[in-house]
Amino acid sequence: MISLIVPVYNVEPYLRKCLDSIVNQTYRDLEILVIDDGSIDGCGQICDEYGDEDHRIKVFHTENRGLSAARNLGLDNAQGEWIGFVDSDDWIEADMYEVLHDRAIESGADIVECGFNCLYSDKIIVRQKKELTIPGEEAIRELYKHRLNDTVWNKLWSQNCFKHIRFPEGRVFEDVATTYRILYSVNRVCTISAIKYNYNVRKGSLSRKINIENLIGYWRSHKERYDFLENRLPGFVNLELGLCAKAVARTWAHYYSCDKGERILYNADIRDMNIFTKKNIPLFGNNNWELRLQTGVFFPHFESALSFRIAWIINRIVRFLKQN
């Protein structure tokens, strides 16, 4: 049996299409855990309606605690040998889980990943995968080559993957903070070229908002990954350092444009970020980094309001030049 975990929050226009694509899967042995995360639109009623019509659906209504908490609740209640995640504003192809399950059995993989469509309002970008069957440690390297994704929703996972792992609550980029830990713990990962997931890219979605909370979450996730790899797989540390630097540069450039209350709220995070930068990142970055990134990691070496202001101005100028 596959346990599918579907967190739901204020996605009424998309929810029926999502749930229809799940209940009509050609793979029928499903447990569908729908977590209504305190929705204030009509999602709660729609979830109950589907739960009444299909005995495989179990509906949970909770206060709003965020995507990670909803996924964790699903994991705590999942009974299947396999786990899948579907975001409630997305939809999946009818045979997605039949194809993934068959490939998992054939290959003996703990994780199977498929390709996906990114659905924008004016275009579709296809993210197709090269077919691979590799050890978990090598799969971490493939993350940095963009042949594997941090995302959890285009994969089928053995239940053992989540035996000791949960998503960090109260933070976006929860996949970045989780997937590498699972890859490190498994024996085999498989990718298939078939496009089976449809990811709806919405401008208003939480993960696409550029604000200090999201930027700090992105930084913390990559810093944790750096620490994890440094102690276990030091050969990957330099690959991760570039992503840490990108998180630093983006956060630093945005931080000064926040109001004073937000800056006070995240002072400790900024201080930790600056300490990490001074210790691990050269003053001018690495020679192979683009100029914007080298500039961005220069300023955290100097803590002053003037440095913030200059970094913010340069970031705005670079953004303007790229748009024109």
pLDDT at 35: 98
The residues, ordered by sequence, that sit 6+ positions from 72 with a Cβ below 8 Å of its Cβ are 166, 167, 169
What residues in the chain have per-residue pLDDT under 70? 204-209, 256, 308, 315, 318-319, 321-324
Exposure b/e, 101-134, CB count within 10 A at least 16 = b: bebbeeeebbbbbbbbbebeeeeeeebebeebeb
pLDDT at 228: 95
What is d(CA 314, CA 252) in angstroms, rounded to the nearest whole number?
A: 11
Q: How far apart are CA 95 and CA 106, in angstroms?
A: 16
d(CA 293, CA 315) in angstroms, rounded, equals 10
End-to-end CA distance of the chain: 53
Q: How far apart are CA 12 and CA 88, in angstroms?
A: 9
- The domain locations on the chain are 2-206, 211-323
pLDDT tens per residue across span 248-279:
988 887 876 777 788 788 888 988 998 999 99
User: What pLDDT shows up at residue 297?
Assistant: 86
pLDDT of residue 322: 63
Exposure pattern of 259-292 as b/e (b: 16+ CB <10 Å)?
A: eeeeeeebeebbeebbebbeebbeeebeeebeee
Return all residues near 213 (Cβ < 8 A) that are at least 6 apart. 172, 266
**Cα separation, 300 vs 283, whole angstroms:** 9
Which pLDDT belongs to residue 319? 67
pLDDT at 191: 97
Q: Provide CATH code, domain 2-206.
A: 3.90.550.10
SS3 content of the chain, % helix, strand, coil (to 5): 50, 20, 30
For Cα atoms 174, 259, 216, give the angle at the middle one, nearest 5 degrees: 20
